[in-house]
Amino acid sequence: MAEKNHVHYRDVNENPCNMCMPMGGILALKGIEQSMVIVHGSQGCSTYMRRHIAEHFNEPVDVGSSSLNEKGTIYGGEKNLRQALDNIVKVYHPALIGIVTTCLAETIGEDIERITGQYLIDKQMEEFPIVTAATPGYGGSHFEGYFLTVKRVLMQLTTATKKNNKVNVIIPNMSPADIREIKRILELMKIEYVLCPDFSDTLDRPFSRPYTKMSDGGTKLVDIKEMGGGLATIQMGITLDDSISPGQYLKDEFGVPLYNLAIPIGVESTDAFINTLVEITGKTVPESLKKERGRLLDAMIDSHKYNFQGRCVIFGEPEMVYAVTRTCVENGVFPAVVATGSQGGKLNELVGLAVTDFLEKSNLFIETDFAHILAASQEAKVNIGIGPSDGKYLTEKGGIPLVRLGFPIHDRVGGQRILSVGYTGTMMFLDRVTNTLLENKYISYRSSMYEKYYQQG
């Protein structure tokens, strides 16, 4: 058993390394076919989340709001929510409506299941799917909100059904480019699958005219209904607690075998994903994938002589943080500081196992902020950061160069197109890390050499 990491939990957060719970709920619902989201809370909440998502994906993001005000806070927001439902149905004609709550709605005790149930009866729309998720900001981060909402989608849509030959693939919040790569691998292996949620098109759609309010794409409702009959579930949710695990729900409720895997970044994790597909389906690995694996190994050989100098801080959502930690270990980059603003789940134990071959143990921060991350990084002599663009704080305050990965990326274009999964994506990620280390080295290379060998003389 690996020695425990140095684990730190928050006391006071000044600049948190996460966003609020309903943000994750919106992202999950945007991956469902012809769905529309209502945020039950103040107008400011939906505006903040809509802006955050739109800036990352560089797409228009429509999110409804019940626009709770002082009166609704005191007397209840049922009238506002019913009005929001009327407007969404009239303007968008969605196939599904998802409702996520905010701190305000949960604090005043809004029973959104009762409200929506009565609404459907009153409107004679009993068959219309409305998914509700309790996602107050104080209940967790956007990471917990994402997986809780996916679980709620399955709880409210999936029905007992006859067995089928499809593999359920449940993914965390990743870039549309990553989602497309996962689907490419599945299709190369000729595997029938249901990937949920799938916002590879809904939040990164091709330019076309005329503009439509709702994008094509997303996981089909009929496929979600049949996930209870799946051959097995692969869930990229290895850090998840069972309480918010969609795959665990399918296992408990319908008996669908569950394989919890890390995001397939790095050789080991990608091998595990592909080998699990082979185990479940009996399919063979195509030669093209084997060649991609070989190219990744060649890239690792090319860059290892530079990467051993890396001492990194890795931060963001637990699933991405763990996958990147394992990839850095594979390539000799020591994860000196590992941090998440989320609750962490099983992250502590998993990171301990990942770094067991190092003499040092990583500093692990749970539910933390960037002030704590920066202080720990400076103490650990970190020379590279990996995570979302909120980590530019580490560059601005501590001079630590940043490889941008995850959500959100606001200060660069193309966050939705960053590819990091699979053999090909890992190779691209590794190049970004190695080149950042090289760039940082050569910026001051001549001056440091001059000071060391000439100035002393």
Residue located via tokens 């959500």: 407
Query: How is residue 293 written in tokens?
Result: 């694996």
Report CA Rg, the chain: 23
Q: What is the pLDDT of residue 449?
A: 56
Query: How is residue 155 written in tokens?
Result: 């709880």
Of 377, 375, 422, 429, the closest CA to residue 184 belongs to 422
CA atoms of 399 and 410, how far apart (whole Å): 19
Angle among Cα 325, 328, 330 to the nearest 5 degrees reads 110
- Of 229, 248, 281, the domain-final residue: 281
Over the stretch 382-430, which tens digit does the pLDDT of each residue have?
999 999 999 999 999 999 999 999 999 999 999 999 999 999 999 999 9
Pick 371 or 362 by higher pLDDT: 371
| Within-domain flag for 131 | yes
The percent of residues in the chain predicted with pLDDT above 70, rounded, is 94
Verify that 429 and 300 share a domain, yes or no: yes
Over the stretch 86-116, which tens digit does the pLDDT of each residue have?
999 999 999 999 999 999 999 999 999 999 9
| Within-domain flag for 63 | yes
Of 283, 371, 340, the closest CA to residue 15 belongs to 371
Verify that 427 and 293 share a domain, yes or no: yes
Please state the rounded mean pLDDT for residues 177-186. Answer: 98
Q: What is the pLDDT of residue 11?
A: 56
Helix (H) or strand (E) holding 294: helix 287-307
| Within-domain flag for 215 | yes
Verify that 353 and 427 share a domain, yes or no: yes
Angle, helices 422-443/318-330, rounded to nearest 10 degrees: 70
CB 246 within 8 A of CB 154: yes
pLDDT-based confidence at 446, cuts 50/70/90? low
- Of 260, 281, 302, the domain-final residue: 281
pLDDT at 196 > cutoff 60: yes
CA atoms of 145 and 135, how far apart (whole Å): 6
Please state the rounded mean pLDDT for residues 323-334. Answer: 95
Structural domain total, the chain: 3
| Within-domain flag for 309 | yes
Q: What is the pLDDT of residue 361?
A: 77
Task: Report helix, strand or coil for 320.
Answer: helix
Over the stretch 201-215, which tens digit does the pLDDT of each residue have?
999 999 988 888 888
- Of 281, 303, 320, the domain-final residue: 281
For 318, the domain range is 6-15+287-445
End-to-end CA distance of the chain: 51
Q: Please confirm whether the linkage preceding 197 is cis (ω < 30° from 0).
A: yes
Q: Please confirm whether the linkage preceding 210 is cis (ω < 30° from 0).
A: yes
Please state the rounded mean pLDDT for residues 369-375. Answer: 93
Residue located via tokens 């966050």: 415
The CATH number assigned to the domain holding 32 equals 3.40.50.1980
Query: How is residue 394 written in tokens?
Result: 């580490």
Sign of CA dihedral 239, 5, 363, 431: negative
| Within-domain flag for 157 | no
pLDDT at 15 > cutoff 80: no
Verify that 113 and 29 share a domain, yes or no: yes
| Within-domain flag for 151 | no
Query: How is residue 24 written in tokens?
Result: 């994750």
Which amino acid is present at 129? P
Angle, helices 78-92/112-122, rounded to nearest 10 degrees: 50
- Helical ranges in 67-220 per DSSP H: 70-75, 78-92, 103-107, 112-122, 142-157, 176-188
Of 132, 173, 111, 139, the closest CA to residue 342 belongs to 139
| Within-domain flag for 258 | yes
CA atoms of 338 and 325, how far apart (whole Å): 8
Q: Is 347 exposed, middle or buried (0-12, 13-18, 19+ CB in 10 A)?
A: buried
Q: What is the pLDDT of residue 453?
A: 62
Verify that 301 and 406 share a domain, yes or no: yes
CA atoms of 266 and 272, how far apart (whole Å): 10
Task: Report helix, strand or coil for 185.
Answer: helix
Verify that 337 and 261 share a domain, yes or no: no
Query: How is residue 247 written in tokens?
Result: 């795959």
